[in-house]
Amino acid sequence: MDLDWLKDFSALAELKSFSRAADARNVTQPAFSRRIRALEDWIGTPLFVRGAQGASLTPAGIHFQPLAEEMIRSLERARRDTRSVGERNTVALSMAATHALSFTFFPQWIRNLRFERLGALSLISESMEACEQIMVSGEVHFLLCHYHREAPTRFESDRFQSIRIGDDRLVPLCAATSDGRPAWPLPASPARPVRLLSYSHASGIGRILSAHQTGDNALANLETGFTSHLAATLMTMAREGHGVAWLPQTLAKDDVEQGRLVRAGSEQLDIPIEIRLFRSPDCRNQTADELWHALAG
């Protein structure tokens, strides 16, 4: 058994396409197919029905799906817990951050804080759903994530303090046509539907989009054509012309400036969001307290 096999299985079960799942897992399609076959051989029964329309779960695959997700969570939790024990005497601060902010906002922000003065720092990059579990379990001092007041989180305000440390926007973006116009213009119409590149339930940005009303009929006639919890994956799909995605401005900035992505609709469809730092009520030390007081001050 290989942890990658389980992650491959979950990706294929979600995307229902070998090529898309292989892209999401950053592996070639032949290698991806071999790993899926190896998992089926290990279990001893087919998990997917292969067909011209893609891959669908067999009854055995449907049974295995929640078990695979739980095994992934358990193994990653065991790895984090064990690593935490090993780092306890060397790491001064531990932080979880959603994938999009890990690659864009976090490096510049931590540099402005003069990172070398904070001591050793451990960063865990995960989906919002996984970050919430890590935070609620008291495994890290802080969580860095996008936030919108209309979208629910697992953090009770009387237990989890938070502070606004930045701003962002979710902008509807897509590839451009040869004349620079959006390939998937908004608003859509019944005669010209638009393919939506959507976030899965594990994504915090997905929750924000679901909770926020972007205007009358703004989301009408959108057909979900692809789903992922990674904004970076949706950005790649949008860049390749597969549809429109609401992407964080901080993440898509370079693609917009280089013309690889253009606005699919007006600024009225943008969603202003905050970048917030949440503080754990259970995982505390002097360095974390000093950082919090400095930010709050």
Domains in the chain: ranges and CATH: 3-79 (1.10.10.10), 87-166+275-296 (3.40.190.10), 168-273 (3.40.190.10)
pLDDT, average across residues 196-204 = 89
- Structure confidence by residue, pLDDT tens digits, 143-165: 999 999 888 788 887 889 999 99
How far apart are the C-alpha atoms of 202 and 187, rounded to whole Å?
27
Cis bond leading into 46, ω under 30°? Answer: no
Render 157-174 in DSSP notation, one character per residue. Answer: TTT--EEEEEEEEEEEEE
Q: How far is CA 184 from CA 192, 195, 241, 262, 281, in A?
A: 9, 7, 8, 10, 45
Q: State the pTM of this model.
A: 0.68
Q: What is the mean pLDDT of the chain?
A: 87
- Structure confidence by residue, pLDDT tens digits, 84-140: 666 555 557 889 999 999 988 999 898 888 755 667 788 899 999 889 988 888 889
Q: At 218, is the pLDDT very low, low, confident or very high (cuts 50, 70, 90)?
A: low
Say how many C-beta atoms besides its own lie within 10 A of residue 47's C-beta: 23
How far apart are the C-alpha atoms of 295 and 297, rounded to whole Å?
5
Q: CB neighbours of 74 closer than 8 A, spacing ≥ 6?
A: none
